[in-house]
Amino acid sequence: MKLSYLMKEILVPWDRRILPDSDPGIDPEITSIHSRAQDVKPGGLFIAIKGFAKDGHDYIDTAFKNGAAAVVAQKADRNNTNIIQVKNSRKAMAGIADRFYMNPTGKLTLTGVTGTNGKTTTTWILESILKAAGHNPGVIGTINIRYNGIIHDNPVTTPESIDLQKIFFDMVNAGITHVIMEVSSHALDLNRVDNCYFDVGVFTNFTQDHLDYHKTMEKYWKCKKNFFTKLLNSANPKGIPTAVLNIDDEKVKRLAKVLDKKNINVLKAGISPDADLKCRHIKEHIQGIEAALLNNGTRMDIKSSLIGAFNLENIICAAGAAICLGIPFENIQKGISQCKNIPGRLEKIENKKERFIFVDYAHTPDALESILKTLKPLKTGKESKLITLFGCGGDRDPMKRGTMGKIACALSDLIIVTSDNPRSEEPDKIIQDILTGIKINGTRKKLVVEPDREKALKSAVKLSNPGDIILAAGKGHETYQILKHGRIDFDDRKILKEAVA
């Protein structure tokens, strides 16, 4: 594609440093686009963006040495006419990628799921519903990217815009018609999902997380809110999109009132009497959930092997999205019942020792509290214990550590504090931060501190009795642990299976 075509109508102000009418060779044919200078090929376009660790502007010379036909950058050498200067190279990159890959989201039915917790589970349930309806969906999420039986690892929840648009392009060529994508606050803040045309946007909930990045809850909220008030509400060639909002969350409920005044459809979901999609007749037990969903006078009875009130919220959100996509009720029911297990999301470790062992990705105060409040009433007898094993990630929001310790102390019978992904921090320092929230005060509660997570997991099994519930929280589906010296193979599920055997 011609450079002038890629730059045309991108939604950013830009100062055209090269003038096609002054030199016929100045509007080159672009054969590839890149955000990493080392990947540039002859005839490629390099877009310099500032990353967390490195700044692409420092590698512009490398891009030209590798054969770049032109460079898009926020900072430019005015003597180099092959550099186009833009106000925001991330926004420019999203627009360029959309044009280069021929507007793939305009050819897909795209659902975006955002929220602090529940994104992965909601996408998994909606994928099951779409399959039950005979569709062939693709998913982009925290655990992986998958479609047509192809599974790719995904290092981040929402990929950079160039990678994201290439994934959409590949999905279109593979015959995928529906895509479900987790939309992180980082992606929203870094313009990764700009120029994506969503048909449905889902908001699961809003609680504390990512303050290491956003610094304040207000800035974090602004990112989430902008997905609905700006991105979802932007000019969409496919028509007016729909927002599915879990109004059992007070913050999300207030957003619903704002969106009522926007050019956007809204479906309010939840247990709340104000919901359009209501949930009634709820039964929760250790084997799953039963409930009735009511919408426009129609009742839909559902059964799920997923456990807990928070998972019921995820089910309602997924069902709401499915209704907005025109999926028949019978397919929604079938899809919910067929979604048996989600990797690392209250994933049950089967065993013959009469222990109820679960692994979950919960790494925020709200997520940990929701799960413990779900599991605590499910204890099978007066003598059975709820054993909670968890840590907190290093180089991440330190303010939540004591809060999570307090929550674990309030809701558990035995607390095992250990490492999560300590990264560059000392595990003992993270553990001490957690312990500021734990006060045993001579009660029956017990505390074990074991920085070695493998030993801690084995201790949890060793200290348990038949009928006890064990929760290993924090890492969920992850198959690695990030330490100061690097990444090692590590899977909570594998270690617990070996220990209980």
Q: Residue 18 pLDDT more than 50?
A: no
Distance CA(346)–CA(359), nearest Å, equals 5
d(CA 13, CA 95): 12
Task: Work out the pLDDT band at 439, boundaries 50, 70, 90.
Answer: confident
Say if CB 478 and CB 491 are below 8 A apart: yes
Token pair for 266: 């809204």
CB atoms within 10 A of CB 463: 15
Give the helix/strand (H/E) hosting 366: helix 365-375
The CATH code for residues 3-100 is: 3.40.1390.10
At 363, list the tokens: 């790494």
Which residues lie closer than 8 Å to 273 by C-beta, 6 or more apart?
Answer: none
**Contact assessment for residue 314 and residue 304, using Cβ atoms and an 8 Å cutoff:** no
Whole-number pLDDT of residue 401:
96
DSSP E strand boundaries for 167-276: 178-182, 200-203, 242-246, 265-270
- Residue range 115-138: mean pLDDT, rounded: 96
Task: Look at residue 11 in the predicted model and tell me its pLDDT.
Answer: 40
**Rounded Cα–Cα distance for residues 74 and 84 (Å):** 8
CB contact set of 228 (below 8 Å; sequence gap of 6+): 201, 203, 243, 255, 259, 264
Return all residues near 161 (Cβ < 8 A) that are at least 6 apart.
90, 93, 94, 97, 98, 191, 192, 193, 194, 195
pLDDT band at residue 76, thresholds of 50, 70 and 90?
A: confident
Cα–Cα separations (whole angstroms), residue 422 to 334, 396, 398, 487: 41, 9, 12, 11
* More confident: 468 or 232: 468
Give me the pLDDT at residue 257, please: 87
Residue with token string 């909930």 = 205
Query: What integer pLDDT is reported at residue 13 of this predicted model?
Result: 42
> What angle (nearest 5°) sits at the alpha carbon of residue 73, between those of residues 191 and 184?
15
83-96 residue pLDDT tens: 888 889 999 999 99
| Section 302-323 average pLDDT | 95
Confidence tier at 81 by pLDDT (50, 70, 90):
confident
User: pLDDT (tens digit, 9 = 90+) per residue, 148-199?
Assistant: 999 999 888 899 999 999 999 999 999 999 999 999 988 999 999 999 999 9
pLDDT above 90 for 140: yes
Q: Tell me the Ramachandran region of residue 346: left when phi exceeds 0, alpha when psi lies from -120 to 50, beta otherwise.
A: left
Distance between CA atoms of residues 328 and 385, nearest Å: 42
DSSP class of 248: T
Q: Residue 497: count other Cβ atoms within 10 Å of its Cβ.
A: 15
Give the separation between CA 389 and CA 405, rounded to whole angstroms.
11
Residue 22: pLDDT band by 50, 70, 90 thresholds?
very low
Domain ranges in the chain are 3-100, 104-338, 347-500
Superfamily in which the 347-500 domain is placed by CATH: Mur ligase, C-terminal domain (3.90.190.20)
Residue 214 tokens read as: 């956003």
Could you tell me the two tokens for 333? 């029911």
Q: What is the pLDDT of residue 25?
A: 55
Q: How many CB atoms lie within 10 A of CB 230?
A: 12
Domains 3-100 and 104-338 share a fold: no
Q: State residue 248's pLDDT score.
A: 96
pLDDT at 17: 47
- The 3-state DSSP class for residue 373 equals helix
Neighbours of 298 (CB within 10 A): 9
The residues, ordered by sequence, that sit 6+ positions from 201 with a Cβ below 8 Å of its Cβ are 111, 112, 113, 114, 183, 227, 228, 232, 241, 242, 243, 244
Side-chain half-sphere CA neighbours of 220 within 13 A:
19
**CB neighbours of residue 343 within 10 Å:** 17
Report the CATH fold assignment for 104-338.
Answer: UDP-N-acetylmuramoyl-L-alanine:D-glutamate ligase (3.40.1190)
Is residue 119's pLDDT more than 90? yes
